[in-house]
Amino acid sequence: MDKQEPHGIRLPRRRFVQGLALGGVAAGLGLWRGNALAQAPAPRTELSGQHFELEIDELPVDFTGRKRLATVVNGQLPAPLLRWRQGDTVTLRVRNRLRVPSAIHWHGIVLPADMDGVPGLSFDGIPPGGEYVYRFTVNQAGTYWYHSHAGFQEQTGLYGPIVVEPRGGERHQVQRDYTLLLSDWTDEDPETLYANLRKQGGYYNHGKRTVGDFMRDAGREGVAKALEDRRMWNRMRMDPTDLSDVSGATYTYLANGLSPVGNWTGLFGPGESVRLRLINGGAMTFFDVRIPGLTLRVVAADGQDIEPVSVDELRIAPGETYDVIVQPSADRAWTIFAQSMDRSGYARATLAPRAGMSAEVPPLDPRPLLSMADMMGAMDHGGMGHDMAGMRHDMAGMDMMGMMPGMAMPMAQEPAPSLETGPEVDMRVATPRRNLDDPGVGLRGNGRRVLAYADLHAIDAPISPTVDRELHLRLTGNMERYLWSFDGQRPPQGGPLRLRHGEHVRITLVNDTMMTHPIHLHGMWSELETPEGGFLARKHTVSVQPAQQLSYRVSADAVGRWAYHCHLFYHMAAGMFREVVIA
């Protein structure tokens, strides 16, 4: 019989096994004996220096009680931590032992285009049985990561952390320094998972509102109000529970390759400070991270030092990294709790003074619902005529400015031109909001101090002090058809974005959808701006919330062909991808 998950989400019992057999990877091929996993010495987990030998292969794993093959590097999931030094030239010989082409992309590392690792652009990929030598100078420091950009290999385990030591030493001295790579694992073939999404966008949404939810809402708000709320969402053909396309219905959430039962543990001594380098290597999962009872002192975002800011919790999008420093205040274990944005599951790790200790794991927060504040004027939906006109009238009487912290309407800059709705675009935002002090759905007003982009303040000066040209793009999609795009165009319809070498460009994004999209530009920094155009922080992955408009500057200083895409894996696969050409 299925076990009841908190907050009414029913999942198969195997989702609660969570790797009881071993909690992760069987080190070495051919280690299954009957129904049990044989144990073997763990492979080396960290490589350092200037010359690296990496081998891509398959390896049996068991996270749920079912045996599956993962894509791994040097027999590891995650792949080995690579430790580089700023200013060094590194050489990485990558051999592909798979039966299909492969590739490795060095996420957030500024390097020549032919070293970036995206097949079909400035690189042909690594053929089966072949090898490729990456060689480049590391001109930056901080926390980054690497992953495959070939097929579905990122989803099946090909990802690992990178730490680049600063030339002049770390700005913040700590006694312990750990990387914590969060990810999502599925026993399903990723091609099957993708096919399920293409057939039904909400295939993995097991948290949809039920009759019981309606009865509770009716008892609290009255029958008329509850009915009108349901009618409104039905008229828009949208679902307020649509927070994450892929959920704990199929995902097991991992911390450094271990399930919650595996419980990765980092040790500390009395009075010691601990640096946690948080990396979201998940294919589709936003994680909300906290350590109950401890303050997170955020000191870096996407590898770049920022003015330290103290919070209780932060949301980390796929592709992002954050460095936090904590100081355990007692000689006991502390839980690192990373729940998925849709509250369908969590990854868990531990800080402890001694091995084998654990602390209480908090319950999942209640599952949040999207609201009208997450639409902010997104009242134009194709084919809705009278119903939408009436809804716009209803919305006019609502205090939209009070529905979300720091709500700001567009000011100096005009939003990108609106698109017509149709097969590629099922929703458009008429009046996007521009505030950056909103931590996002599910985190507002939860009683904890939560990091927002407005809290990020770079220590260094911007690379792009001026703006030569402006480029406006809209993040678009059709959820029912599972189509995602820029400006309603999917490859090959959307041609390359062309930038002139040496120019400084302001890119303004408007999110016309009700999903949050982490947008990653390869090869260059994205220098996030305030709504007034001031420099905030340098990032390689910028998360855009529903109905939000934000801008960042790009210095087009890297000649070549570059990828520009949503870092939600299946959104990229479904069309939210553009090529950027700099010449």
Q: What is the mean pLDDT of each run of 10 residues along the chain (583 residues)?
A: 34 39 40 32 75 97 94 96 98 98 98 96 95 98 97 97 96 96 96 92 65 56 62 55 85 96 95 97 97 98 98 98 96 97 95 95 89 54 34 32 39 52 79 92 93 97 92 92 92 91 96 94 97 96 95 96 97 96 96
Rounded to a whole number of angstroms, the distance between the first and last alpha carbons of the chain is 61
Q: Which of 148, 172, 196 is the last residue of a domain?
A: 172
pLDDT for residue 394: 32
pLDDT for residue 45: 85
Residues spanned by the domain of 106: 3-172
Residue 408: CATH number of its domain: 2.60.40.420
Q: Is residue 349 part of a domain?
A: no
Q: Which of 172, 202, 228 is the last residue of a domain?
A: 172
Q: Which of 172, 188, 215 is the last residue of a domain?
A: 172
416, 510 Cβ separation under 8 angstroms: yes
Q: Find tokens 């006694």 and name the residue.
A: 175
3-state secondary structure string, 298-316?
Answer: EEEECCEEEEEEEECEEEE
pLDDT for residue 377: 42
pLDDT for residue 428: 83
65, 75 Cβ separation under 8 angstroms: no
Q: Is residue 405 part of a domain?
A: yes
One-letter amino acid identity for 237? Answer: R
pLDDT for residue 22: 42
Q: Is residue 346 part of a domain?
A: no
Q: Is residue 498 part of a domain?
A: yes
Q: How far is CA 264 from CA 32, 68, 209, 218, in A?
A: 23, 21, 35, 44
Q: What is the DSSP string of 198-260?
A: HH-TTTT------HHHHHHHHHHH-HHHHHHHHHHHHHTT--TT-S-SS-TTTEEEEETTB-T
pLDDT for residue 321: 98
Q: Find tokens 């039962």 and name the residue.
A: 261
One-letter amino acid identity for 337? Answer: F
How are strands ordered across the β-sheet holding 549-555?
Answer: 483-486, 469-478, 504-511, 549-555, 526-529, 535-539
Q: Is residue 35 part of a domain?
A: yes
pLDDT for residue 351: 97
Q: Is residue 369 part of a domain?
A: no
Q: How far is CA 389 from CA 337, 380, 433, in A?
A: 44, 9, 21
Number of domain units in the chain = 2
The first and second tokens of residue 301, run together, are 């975002």
Q: Is residue 74 part of a domain?
A: yes
pLDDT for residue 47: 96
Q: Is residue 43 part of a domain?
A: yes
